[in-house]
Amino acid sequence: MNSRLTAYEAVTLPTELLRHFIITKSLFKLVIIIKNIMNNKHKQILLLVLLLILLFGLNYPFLDNKLNEFLDESETGIVERIIDGDTIVVNNNTHVRLLGINTPEKKEKYYEEAKKFLENLILNKTVKLEFGKSRYDIYNRILAYIILEGENINLEVVRNGLGNVYLLEDKMHETELRNAWKECINKSINLCEKSTNKCADCIGLKILDVKNQQTNVLTALG
């Protein structure tokens, strides 16, 4: 009796095994199926199929989570103090500057609102610090995106019109940040509120080069 697999069997066997496993949701039934087929001496292929099913069917979520944990360089910290809308203190006086955004300075409009916004969201809570390309700024503050229960707080500051997008070398979350700014403009709130000054439509910004500190303003538009 020829026990070798036909081409059709070689292609369909793994699929059939996995189909039976998904339908029955029972490892015991899968073992019975394998045992019956093993009587036909297809041991090598069956062992390979079984390993694949165990890896991807049973343990894949576990392995995937472990791999993500291994590659994840983020840290956690308890927010002890809010300095302003884009700077916080965690874990025994460690200063953290929020990446990708810039909020009003003291005595500027919306400074207090931005600070209070962060206090209401994250003060005394455990947050995740997601680092970018550079770990520290020139003032030796940690640079990070602040994540609370899966929510990017940096984005929320921009989305609520309490900070603008401020990207230098690090382009992480650039698309999300710019989309958040567009949402803010559409809602016309806080920093995104349209000016009522009669010259609001008379001035336009042609060039804004933050890195090289260059701007070019056009006047008398339209």
Residue 136 main-chain phi, psi, to 5 deg: -130, 155
- Check residue 10 and give its pLDDT: 47
- Check residue 5 and give its pLDDT: 47
Of residues 87, 134, 135, 139, the one with CA closest to residue 111: 87
- Check residue 158 and give its pLDDT: 96
154 close to 102: Cβ distance less than 8 angstroms: no
Q: Which two tokens stand for residue 164?
A: 């603008």
Q: Euclidean distance between the first and final Cα of the chain, in Å?
A: 89
Q: Global pTM? A: 0.61
- Check residue 189 and give its pLDDT: 93
Pairing state between β 126-136 and 75-84: antiparallel
What are the extents of the domains in the chain? Answer: 7-68, 75-195
- The letter for the amino acid at 217 is V
In degrees, rounded to 5, the angle at the alpha carbon of residue 67 between the alpha carbons of residues 66 and 68 is 90
Q: Which two tokens stand for residue 165?
A: 């997008």
- Check residue 196 and give its pLDDT: 72
CB-side exposure of 42: number of CA atoms within 13 Å? Answer: 19
Residue 13 main-chain phi, psi, to 5 deg: -60, -50
- Check residue 73 and give its pLDDT: 73
Other beta carbons within 10 Å of 122: 21
Return per-residue pLDDT of the chain as tens, 222 residues: 444 545 544 445 555 555 554 444 455 555 566 556 555 555 566 666 666 666 666 555 555 555 455 456 789 999 999 999 999 999 989 999 999 999 999 999 999 999 999 999 999 999 999 998 889 999 999 999 999 999 999 999 999 999 999 886 667 889 999 999 999 999 999 999 987 766 656 655 555 555 555 555 455 544
- Check residue 11 and give its pLDDT: 47
- Check residue 19 and give its pLDDT: 54
CATH class of 75-195: mainly beta
**What is the residue-wise DSSP string for 139-155?**
TSPEEEEEEETTEEHHH
